[in-house]
Amino acid sequence: MVAPPGGQMDTPPPRWARRLLLAPLVFVCAAGLVLMSPLIHLWAAVIDLIFDRKRWRASRFVGVGLAFCVVEVFGLFTLLTVWIGSGFGRWMNRPFWIRANTVLTGQYLELVTRAIRFFLGYHFSYTYEPIPPGPQLLFSRHAGPGDAFLVARVVIRDAGRRIHMVGAEKLQWDPFLDIAGERLGFHYLHQSPADSTGDLDRIRSLAGSLDDDETLVVFPEGGNYTDARRRRRIDALLARERVELARRAQALKHTLLPRPNGTLAAIEGAPDAVMLFVAHAGLEQLYGFGDLWASVPLGRSVVAHSWVAEPSDAAGDRRTLTAWLYDEWQKVDDWIENQLSAGPTGVDDLRDDVHSPPPSVTAEP
């Protein structure tokens, strides 16, 4: 996500306000919009019939918005049910209830990503290289609308794993993501903290506590890719006379040079974990609502691929680890370049197409 101008919405309200005020307000408003959905859909259809018969953009965006409302109402109601069933939260950390929250989050992501794909009009495919068993650190590119949802959905729904995620704290404005994330051990970061020591310690702790069926997802770029953000990063490096890093950043055509501290903290916490890198292509140049409005229906395929970087490749001090991270990230960028050079692929089927490794090397659901 991209912060609103001035960052007014970056910092969410305190936890008590999010639970007692924000969550009920969002539930009531979302439920009200769902009840009014026939009239809202009719209004959007009339607008499209008059002004946009070829692309039906008003109907598409209304469909996405109302789908989010339905999923939010469903999600918050089931979160409440799980809270009551777990003895009003008393047994929430027991395996059964952890699994219940994981399944619920996976279903939420499934419904959200289906709505995004259907209304925006794209096909999603994801391929893997063979993955050894064990705890996983997953380092993913971050670009385009809903890409983090797609990655998280694959981890939970297709790989059958419990997920932890490091994300921006503004996601806590969404009550479902806030509550489910707290239960599943997500860590939400401030974009520009005065002191990042606590955040890094938390990431190390999360990584160090991973079980064999758990994955920690980190976005090394530290934000959603945009051309402007890439330019600012390069200019900042040049201003600080970090010429070599600026050259590395300039060599990346489609990604941002990673901010290594969070990634290194995860590796330090779990140096023997399976380390995965995820690249995806197809959501380029979609930086905000205006870009989406101009492009919908997308009529394209979004493709993703992951590979394993052996833990032994990352052995060494922080400088060695950082160089290793930059080298792997160049592979991410090169993969994206190869996909885009091959040309766009039309949408033939809106079902997800996930090519998994052999069952023997994946976690059981």
Per the CB < 8 A criterion, the answer to whether 23 and 179 are in contact is yes
One-letter identity of residue 338: N
Q: Report the pLDDT value the prediction gives residue 250, as an integer from 0 to 100.
A: 95
Q: What is the pLDDT of residue 151?
A: 93
The kind and range of the H/E element at 28 are: helix 23-35
For the stretch 10-59, pLDDT in tens is 789 999 999 999 999 999 999 999 999 999 999 999 999 999 999 999 99
CA 268 vs CA 46, 136, 272, 311: distances in Å = 57, 13, 9, 11
Residue type (1 letter), 1:
M
Any residues with CB less than 8 A from the CB of 87 and at least 6 apart, and which? none
pLDDT classification of 356: cutoffs 50, 70, 90:
very low
Instruction: Look at the alpha carbons of 239, 242, 245, 251 in this order and tell me if their dihedral is positive or negative.
Output: positive
Are the beta carbons of 157 and 199 closer than 8 angstroms? no
What are 170-181's pLDDT values in tens digits?
999 999 999 999
Q: Give the percent of the chain with pLDDT over 90.
A: 71
Asked if 216 and 263 count as a contact pair (C-beta separation under 8 A), the reply is no
Q: CA 101, CA 318: separation in Å to the nearest integer?
A: 36
The pLDDT value given to residue 216: 97
Q: What is the dihedral of CA 314, 317, 318, 320, to 10 degrees?
A: -60
Q: Which of 349, 300, 294 shows the shortest CA–CA distance to 55?
A: 294
| Cis peptide preceding 220, ω within 30 of 0 | no
pLDDT category at 342 given cuts 50, 70, 90 is confident
The total number of residues shown for the chain amounts to 365
pLDDT of res. 9: 62
Instruction: Identify the band that residue 316 occupies on the pLDDT scale cut at 50, 70 and 90.
Output: low
d(CA 123, CA 114): 10
Q: What is the pLDDT of residues 261-301, one digit of tens each?
A: 999 999 999 999 999 999 999 988 888 889 999 999 988 88
Using one digit for the tens of pLDDT, what is the confidence trace for 69-112?
Answer: 999 999 999 999 999 999 999 999 999 999 999 999 999 999 99
Q: Contact at 8 Å (CB) between 157 and 106?
A: yes
Does the global pTM surpass 0.75?
yes
